[in-house]
Structure 1
Amino acid sequence: MVAEALRRRKLARRVALEVPSFLAGLHVVAASDLLMNVPVPLVNDVAAALDLVVRPAPLPLPSVPFALLWHDRFQHDEAHRWARDVVAAAVDPRFSRPPVAAR
């Protein structure tokens, strides 16, 4: 999404490193002079612990939707329904929180 938004403005980015997860990237950023874009809920949870400075993206970016998917055979399974409800209850509030205040 970031690369596409930059391309539309005739800009490019230099990718210094690719990591397997946002969390791994945050630890790399905390120990370097690199920067990265990260979903707000994840930043809210770890920015203070890693002593990171949080700023809004310098250009508008689309929202990233959150979805749960499961096979139809589990639609009416009570244990599966309970697990889905637990995940949704944990995730929904995080996606509605604003980012932590920048230092």
Structure 2
Amino acid sequence: MIASADNSALADLPEGAVMPLSIFSSLPQVIRSIDGTFRGMVDDALATHGLKRQVTLALPHFHAVASAIAQSAHIAAVPLQFADAVKTNLRLRCFSPPIDVPVPDVNLYWHSRYDEDLAHRWMRDQILQAVAALNFPINEVGIAT
């Protein structure tokens, strides 16, 4: 969870602490949504507990979400790795969510004709190393058509 360093609703909460569910539920939230929907993995996790959140803005990129958070009283659930990378420059504070949110799978797809292509294999290895450094699980899938 990220919030502006100036968010008064979180002024007394130490950085890295679990955000209380009451605060989490009461603050407006921004979601990263490619298709513009206002629902995601956090909402699915909340629904298992019979809870909802107040999403008021959907943006297509995590950096746009972080920029919006830095300038508002909104909060957002973003990957911890991303939050750590941008929090200093955008003056954000990070908190743990009050519920467990599953880590998404990352899938790497390519056409099977590129299985043995050296340049393509090098590129896949670069992607795998970058994703591994972020501690995301990744599935490699060569697709034949």
TM range (shorter): 0.7 to 0.9
Deviation digits for residues 22-44 of structure 1, max 9, x if unmatched?
11101100111100100111112
Match of 1:52 among 83, 92, 96: 92
Give the counterpart letter for 2:63 in structure 1.
L
Partners of 1:3 and 1:13 within 8 A in 2: yes
In structure 1, give the amino acid aligned to 2:49.
Answer: R
Match of 1:74 among 111, 114, 120: 114
Higher strand share: 2
Q: Which of the numbers 13, 17, 36 marks the counterpart of 2:76? A: 36
The 5 Å alignment of 1:5-24 reads 5-24=45-64
Larger Rg: 2
Q: Post-superposition shift, 1:66?
A: 2.2
2:127 to 81, 84, 87: 87
1:61 equivalent to 2:96? Answer no
Q: 5+ unaligned residues in a row in structure 1: which ranges?
A: 97-103
Q: Normalising by the residue count of structure 1, what TM-score does the alignment of the two structures yield? A: 0.85
User: How large is the Cα RMSD of the aligned pairs?
Assistant: 1.3
Render the CA deviation track for 1:11-58: whole Å, top value 9, x for unaligned: 111111000111110110011110010011111211111111001111
User: Displacement, 1:67?
Assistant: 2.5
- Higher helix content, 1 or 2: 1
Q: Which runs of 4+ in 1 moved over 6 A?
A: none
TM-score (norm 2): 0.62
Aligned residues: 96
Residue aligning to 2:38 = none
